[in-house]
Chains A and B, each alone.
Chain A
């Protein structure tokens, strides 16, 4: 291996500084969330305690945090399932040219890059004008899908651009029906990507704020609840909350990575 150039060390240092910039704030609030009972929003630490974490689950301290969390988790799962199924189907559709395919593609792009407040306002107004009551599981659900489906479809494009069709052809040559090819060849090969889409869909929905604003109805999802708290909670309980939600996200990612690893390992065992 040849010697690394000077630029490697500069860029490496730059990368580390960036990571510090990326993680620094999160680490700071994680530390401050263990602030003692008399401590405030900034340093210095006045002792350390789990006081603020205990407060988190008392209704009067921070509003209804637990049910907002549960609501967001439920919505995340609903959105995740639909995103995976609909993106897979649409991805399959786009493997062939069909009339209107470019319109659908540009619509999907538009859904991704149009300002979220527009989508939120539009869906909110639509429900209002038709006399429907907006709810997190109806209008909120729809508005989240406009955000997660484009990511899902773009990932499907990326996957199919690199996908080798000979496996399917071989399976068809050997006399498998379309459904058999799909179930036994396509689905196992696509499984890791589909998990990725699921992970993306879940976390995007779980953190979505702008599109939920006018579409969640009377009950807040977690990000809305968090935003409300930023204006009226002025104790380290906010930091405890931030740390807990970050941990939830991390757990979801880790879980998916572990599952992915399991999934990748399985075929090898069968091969032996």
Chain B
């Protein structure tokens, strides 16, 4: 009996497993192999050389790109966390009817379903040199010259990340907040706790898992992103993934592969630290 039920599990999990093996595991193995290959302008040459890595790990450009990427990841994480936590707190503890909660929640998630590229382009008429922000600041007399750093800058990139990814923070934090026993808060109030004490000693610790899941999402999304940097950075700014993207465009696949492997290892190391702190499967 036990065995026959297990057999069901195997064929049921098979399609998913096959897709993941064929389109995730195997391709990554291919990347790993190709990262040791040589190449010239026309073709890839099967080989075992370490030059791709050597070049990558000694180049100043890589170092700068990594620092830049970590900066984006940290800033985006910080702001999405602060904003996301506040929004989740409002939705979970201040909105009383479940219907209102659902409606407000849907309002937040709808933009998530529209194209990221379109959402990024949408900033251009607002932040550009002749954009809405600059022209209203100028006409109100606050500035004489249009601000240059609004678009095609680090500011624009981080702003776009916050715009795109805050919901990835709100959803898991809201999810864990909804599971906090309201009696705990009630009891703390009765025992004379101040609001900030309730926040610090009850709500933050108990929504920690949601915070972790959200952080994993935001962190990995920003680490692997290149399209936001391309569009919002106006082609001047570079992070790790844009370097890989540029090498792909130049058909320097082994170099791109080596870059991808190093990025993979970086992300995995960061994730290992984060996963130590939370059991994802229990959080659903």
Min CB–CB distance B178 → chain A (angstroms):
12
Q: Which residues of B contact A135 (CB under 8 A)?
A: none
CA distance A12 to B87 in the complex (A): 9
CA distance A93 to B244 in the complex (A): 37
Give B7-27 interface residues, CB cut-off 8 Å to A. Answer: 8-10, 12-17, 19-27
Q: Is A171 an interface residue (CB 8 A)?
A: no
Q: Are A125 and B34 in contact (CB-based, < 8 A)? A: yes
A-B contact count (CB 8 A): 251
Q: Which residues of A contact B253 (CB under 8 A)?
A: 121, 125, 128
Q: Are B224 and A115 in contact (CB-based, < 8 A)? A: yes
Min CB–CB distance B101 → chain A (angstroms):
12
Identify the closest chain A residue to B271 (Cβ). Answer: A113
Min CB–CB distance A147 → chain B (angstroms):
10
Contact of B10 among A87, A93, A230, A238 (CB under 8 A): A93
Q: Is A169 an interface residue (CB 8 A)?
A: no
Q: Are A115 and B223 in contact (CB-based, < 8 A)? A: yes
The digit string for B69-104, where 1 denotes a CB below 8 A from any CB of A, is: 000000000000001001101110010100000001
Q: Are A87 and B16 in contact (CB-based, < 8 A)? A: yes
Binds A, one of B48-56, B57-65, B203-211, B256-264: B256-264
Q: Are B126 and A25 in contact (CB-based, < 8 A)? A: yes
Q: Is A62 an interface residue (CB 8 A)?
A: no
Q: Is B185 an interface residue (CB 8 A)?
A: no
Q: Is B138 an interface residue (CB 8 A)?
A: no
Q: Is A136 an interface residue (CB 8 A)?
A: no
Identify the closest chain A residue to B220 (Cβ). Answer: A113
Q: Which residues of A contact B9 (CB under 8 A)?
A: 92-94, 96, 98, 101
Determine the interface band of chain A, counting residues with CB < 8 A from chain B. Answer: 35 or more
Contact of A23 among B31, B111, B126, B132 (CB under 8 A): B111
Contact of B284 among A22, A82, A149, A154 (CB under 8 A): A154
The digit string for A98-126, where 1 denotes a CB below 8 A from any CB of B, is: 11010011011111011111110111111
Q: Are A149 and B118 in contact (CB-based, < 8 A)? A: no
Q: Is A184 an interface residue (CB 8 A)?
A: no
Q: Which residues of A contact B28 (CB under 8 A)?
A: 114, 118, 122
Binds B, one of A26-34, A47-55, A185-193, A264-272: A26-34
Q: Is A146 an interface residue (CB 8 A)?
A: yes
Q: SS class of chain A's interface: helix, strand, loop or mixed?
A: helix
Contact of A238 among B19, B113, B121 (CB under 8 A): B121
Q: Are A126 and B27 in contact (CB-based, < 8 A)? A: yes
Q: Are B86 and A11 in contact (CB-based, < 8 A)? A: yes
Give B157-185 interface residues, CB cut-off 8 Å to A. Answer: 163, 166
Give A199-248 interface residues, CB cut-off 8 Å to B. Answer: 203, 206-207, 209-210, 213-214, 222-223, 226-227, 230, 238-239, 241-242, 245-246
Identify the closest chain A residue to B170 (Cβ). Answer: A18
Q: Which residues of B contact A230 (CB under 8 A)?
A: 117, 121, 231
Q: Is B147 an interface residue (CB 8 A)?
A: no
Q: Which residues of B contact A99 (CB under 8 A)?
A: 6
Min CB–CB distance A177 → chain B (angstroms):
14
CA distance A148 to B62 in the complex (A): 31
26 contacts between A and B (CB under 8 A): A11-B86, A18-B108, A21-B163, A28-B126, A28-B132, A29-B122, A32-B125, A89-B12, A89-B13, A96-B6, A101-B9, A105-B281, A111-B20, A117-B226, A117-B244, A121-B31, A121-B256, A124-B248, A125-B31, A125-B253, A126-B30, A146-B24, A209-B227, A210-B226, A214-B248, A230-B121
Which B positions have Cβ atoms within 8 angstroms of A? 5-6, 8-10, 12-17, 19-28, 30-31, 34, 83, 86-87, 89-91, 94, 96, 104, 107-108, 110-111, 113-119, 121-126, 128, 130-132, 135, 163, 166, 195, 216-217, 220, 223-227, 231, 241, 244-245, 248, 253, 256-257, 260, 263-264, 267, 271, 280-281, 284
The 5 A-B residue pairs with the shortest CB-CB distance, nearest first, are: A115-B224, A122-B27, A25-B122, A93-B12, A93-B13
